[in-house]
Amino acid sequence: MKTAAQIGQIQEEEVAVEKSFAVDTSFVLFFLAIEFGRSAGFAFESVFLGITLIMVAVLPYFAYTGEKPDFRNWLFGRSLILGFAIVLGIIFRQTLGVVLPEEFRFMPMTLLIVAAMLSCYIQFYSFLKLRLAK
């Protein structure tokens, strides 16, 4: 028989896992959108990057195991992040060679790779950590 404190602790851990999932995928979405804004154009690469961007924006909603937030609110928040980051990427592209050195053009992709690696680590840790049997 579990006490109220144990049940409360288990619920707090589940909420923390769900919130970390939304936060770390938001960082990946942010840096991916900056890279999209930086490399925006009509190239074949931009089409795949745009499709990936939409998938990273929408699909994490369906990975929630607990109580899901309203989809419209979820999508509105993610699209705000998306729009802000794309504008930031376009501004970043305009400053390369003028304000920032040309070598900085790889910075958004580098930060995207780091954010994606941390996100994968957090996700695998939350899936594989030991939990009490129910």
pLDDT at res. 17: 46
Residue-wise pLDDT for 3-19, tens only, equals 655 555 555 555 444 45
How much is the pTM?
A: 0.75
Supply the DSSP string of 87-122, one letter for each residue: HHHHHHHHHBTTTB-GGGGGHHHHHHHHHHHHHHHH
Report if residue 91 sits inside a domain. Answer: yes
Q: Tell me, yes or no, whether 64 lies in a domain.
A: yes
Domain assignment present for 12: no
Q: Note the pLDDT tens digit of each residue in 17-46.
A: 445 557 788 899 999 999 998 887 767 778
Q: What is the mean pLDDT of residues 51-61?
A: 89
Higher pLDDT, 69 or 19: 69
Q: What is the domain range of residue 73?
A: 18-128
In a domain, 41, yes or no: yes
Q: Is residue 67 part of a domain?
A: yes
- Which token pair is 67? 């109580």
Residue 1 lies in a domain: no
**49: how many CB neighbours lie within 10 A of its CB?**
16
- The total number of structural domains in the chain stands at 1
Largest CA distance in the chain: 67
Q: What is the pLDDT of residue 133?
A: 65
Report pLDDT for 19: 53
pLDDT band (50, 70, 90) for residue 2: low
| Residue 57 belongs to some domain of the structure | yes
pLDDT per position as a tens digit, 77-112: 999 999 999 999 999 999 988 898 988 888 999 999
